[in-house]
């Protein structure tokens, strides 16, 4: 179901949006079981920011990946194991972790969990200059 105030590609056309995260999580629960044990929805998308709600069943994993923007993970329910740069962080309800751009990480749900992922995207010039994009100097 599209989010009110968004275009066909999911980009928000409004500058203000409110979400009931408890209701969103409850709605996700009605769609269990989820393929691969993960269900997510982008709540807010603009050229410089993305906010997604991600729910994971216990033992589900998101394999190593990276985001080209600075990100934060705020655990709303349960507990997750966040692995990055040789460290393991066990994040429980109420925890917040931030991560710089392009740093590889993976996520594992310890319990049935829900977290809010926020990514602040760099402008196009900075994005294209990133070495792994192949356009930088």
> Can you tell me the mean pLDDT for 108-130?
85
Q: Which tokens hold the place of 133?
A: 């994009």
What is the share, in percent, of the chain residues with pLDDT greater than 70? 89
For the chain, the domain total comes to 1
CATH code of the domain containing 101: 2.60.120.10
pLDDT over 50 (residue 4): yes
pLDDT in tens, 88-102: 999 999 999 999 999
Q: Say if residues 67 and 119 touch (Cβ distance below 8 Å).
A: yes
28: in domain:
no
pLDDT in tens, 42-75: 999 998 999 999 999 999 999 999 999 999 999 9
Residue 137: predicted pLDDT = 47
Residue 117: give the domain boundaries: 38-130
- Report pTM: 0.85
How many whole angstroms separate alpha carbon 9 and alpha carbon 65? Answer: 23
How many whole angstroms separate alpha carbon 24 and alpha carbon 20? Answer: 6
């Amino acid at each position: 179901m599209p989010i009110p105030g968004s275009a066909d590609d999911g980009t928000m056309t409004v500058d203000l949006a409110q979400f009931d995260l408890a209701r969103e999580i409850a709605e996700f629960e009605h769609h269990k079981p989820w393929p691969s044990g993960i269900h997510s929805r982008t709540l807010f998308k603009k050229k410089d920011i993305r906010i997604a709600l991600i729910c994971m069943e216990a033992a589900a994993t998101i394999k190593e990946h990276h985001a080209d923007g600075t990100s934060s993970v705020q655990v709303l329910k349960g507990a997750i194991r966040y692995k990055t740069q040789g460290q393991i962080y066990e994040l429980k309800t109420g925890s917040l972790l931030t991560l710089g751009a392009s740093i590889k990480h993976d996520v594992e749900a310890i319990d049935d969990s829900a977290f809010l992922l926020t990514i602040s995207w760099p402008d196009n010039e900075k994005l294209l200059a990133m070495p792994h994009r192949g356009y930088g100097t």
